[in-house]
């Protein structure tokens, strides 16, 4: 179909909640996408950190196709093997005790918030339900996860928001301590603030948070929706920090393109949600689980993770030789690039025309390519970026 027709139909029939770039992707292989005009573009977005195995990975396609032909859905009131398999693989790849499956990052975070509050209620009764999150964080778009998100820009229009969130300045322990009193039951953080601009927390700060949570019996939730599943070169970003929180939330890359979220629970919280206290119709859906099992099996392999780290280093090395870049943040294949004197949205738009897809994160250019991106694809994509950065506009 002609691109202009696609665009006008989209505007006519789909609610206007996204400002889209002028391209329609119709297929591809790994990190090489094909648009509606048959043109190839290199993908440094992976559907915002989702397509961890790239486009149309043979084993992933086989896993989900075979599952679709066998059983596409069954209610959580019955046992289901694909969900058990992926839960077992997640537990084996981490130090957690139990998994709850959701459908998205926001939903996983909602469940995590419920666990922190119920754990506190069960132990201490009412009046201890506040959760401290960080300024500049992002935790989702539901009313509760918007409230958890520490950015004023997300706290408009939809009042009343869920009560019970307080915000501390990232990397400032005094600011966190100011927010903690007898009414607080948990702390929720991203180890690298993704949407906030690919900003990593300092290790010493995270160590102090762990210590404070221990001393005050607060549930520590680490939102790894963007950083998890190999994205930073470790299976979980927590491993870079050497920490074992009570809860880690996952989504995005876990399904490599099918909607699935997960709440990983340590034994400190794994018995908090009893039968009837939490549920979701599609959670642990067999097809999404079959795809997630393929992802976890592949990504938890140490050689695969070493490759992610090496590719991240290779990209950094190449970027460091380009003009127009002030700094590079992030880890593995989650990178934020501060541009010296270019408007980031213009760079993204121009790169699309020149043959590569990039993301933004605040004023930075953000790279979240498929974890399987090849060196040849990296080279091609970065050549596009170089051309665009060298343009005078």
Ligand X SMILES: Cc1ncc(COP(=O)(O)O)c(C=O)c1O
Contacts with ligand X by CB under 6 A lie at 104-106, 109, 138-140, 190, 194-195, 223, 225-226, 251
- Least Å distance between CB 39 and ligand X? 27
Query: Is the sign of the CA dihedral 364, 112, 100, 203 positive or negative?
Result: positive
- Least Å distance between CB 155 and ligand X? 16
319 in Cβ contact with 328 (< 8 Å): yes
- Least Å distance between CB 254 and ligand X? 10
For residues 106 and 347, which CB has a smaller minimum distance to ligand X in the complex? 106
**How far is residue 365's CA from residue 200's CA, in Å, rounded to a whole number?**
16
For residues 194 and 230, which CB has a smaller minimum distance to ligand X in the complex? 194
Q: Which residues are CB-neighbours of 376 under 8 A, at least 6 positions away?
A: none
**How far is residue 36's CA from residue 27's CA, in Å, rounded to a whole number?**
9
For residues 139 and 240, which CB has a smaller minimum distance to ligand X in the complex? 139
- Least Å distance between CB 372 and ligand X? 21
- Least Å distance between CB 224 and ligand X? 8
- Give CA 31 to chain center in angstroms: 18
- Least Å distance between CB 249 and ligand X? 7
For residues 284 and 355, which CB has a smaller minimum distance to ligand X in the complex? 284
Region label for 83, one of left (φ > 0), alpha (ψ between -120 and 50) or beta (otherwise): alpha
Question: What is the bridge-based pairing of β-strands 364-367 and 334-339?
Answer: antiparallel
For residues 32 and 219, which CB has a smaller minimum distance to ligand X in the complex? 219
For residues 140 and 286, which CB has a smaller minimum distance to ligand X in the complex? 140
Instruction: Give residue number: closest CB to ligand X.
Output: 105
CA-to-CA dists, residue 305 to 35, 175, 261, 375, angstroms = 30, 35, 21, 15
CA-to-CA dists, residue 186 to 10, 201, 277, angstroms = 42, 18, 19
- Least Å distance between CB 64 and ligand X? 19
Q: What is the SS3 assignment for 5?
A: helix
For residues 164 and 259, which CB has a smaller minimum distance to ligand X in the complex? 259
- Tell me how far apart the terminal alpha carbons of the chain are, to the nearest angstrom: 32
**How far is residue 305's CA from residue 325's CA, in Å, rounded to a whole number?**
27
For residues 250 and 296, which CB has a smaller minimum distance to ligand X in the complex? 250
Bridge partners of residue 41, in order along the sequence:
33
Q: Where are the beta strands (DSSP E) in 146-218?
A: 165-168, 184-189, 192-193, 199-200
- Least Å distance between CB 233 and ligand X? 17
Longest Cα pair distance anywhere in the chain, in angstroms? 62
For residues 194 and 330, which CB has a smaller minimum distance to ligand X in the complex? 194
- Least Å distance between CB 127 and ligand X? 28
């Amino acid at each position: 179909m002609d691109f202009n027709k696609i665009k006008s139909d989209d505007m006519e029939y789909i609610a206007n909640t996204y400002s889209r770039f002028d391209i329609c992707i119709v297929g591809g292989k790994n990190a090489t996408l094909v648009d509606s005009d048959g043109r190839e573009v290199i993908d440094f977005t992976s559907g915002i950190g989702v397509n961890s195995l790239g486009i149309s990975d043979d084993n992933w396609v086989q896993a989900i196709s075979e599952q679709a032909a066998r059983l596409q859905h069954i209610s959580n009131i019955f046992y289901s093997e694909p969900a058990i398999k992926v839960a077992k693989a997640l537990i084996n790849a981490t130090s957690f005790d139990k998994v709850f499956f959701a459908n998205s990052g926001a939903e996983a975070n909602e469940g995590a918030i419920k666990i922190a509050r119920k754990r506190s209620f069960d132990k201490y009764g009412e009046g201890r339900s506040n959760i401290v999150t960080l300024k500049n964080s992002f935790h989702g778009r539901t009313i509760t996860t918007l409230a958890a998100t520490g950015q004023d820009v997300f706290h408009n229009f939809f009042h009343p928001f869920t009560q019970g969130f307080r915000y501390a300045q990232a990397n400032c322990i005094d600011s966190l301590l100011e927010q903690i009193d007898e009414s607080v039951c948990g702390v929720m953080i991203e180890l690298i603030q993704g949407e906030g601009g690919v900003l990593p927390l300092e290790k010493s700060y995270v160590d102090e948070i762990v210590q404070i949570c221990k001393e005050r019996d607060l549930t520590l939730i680490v939102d790894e929706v963007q950083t998890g599943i190999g994205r930073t070169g470790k299976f979980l970003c927590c491993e870079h920090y050497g920490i074992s929180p009570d809860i880690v939330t996952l989504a995005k890359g876990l399904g490599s393109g099918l909607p699935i979220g997960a709440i990983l629970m340590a034994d400190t919280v794994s018995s908090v949600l009893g039968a009837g206290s939490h549920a979701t119709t599609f959670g642990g859906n067999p097809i999404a689980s079959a795809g997630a099992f393929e992802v976890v099996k592949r990504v938890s392999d140490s050689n695969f993770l070493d490759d992610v780290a090496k590719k991240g280093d290779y990209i950094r090395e190449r970027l460091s030789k380009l003009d127009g870049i002030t700094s590079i943040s992030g880890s593995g294949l989650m990178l934020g690039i501060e541009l010296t004197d270019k408007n980031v949205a213009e760079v993204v738009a121009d790169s699309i025309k020149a043959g590569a897809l990039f993301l933004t994160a605040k004023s930075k250019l953000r790279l979240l390519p498929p974890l399987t991106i090849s060196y040849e694809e990296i080279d091609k994509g970065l050549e596009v970026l170089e051309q665009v950065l060298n343009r005078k506009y």
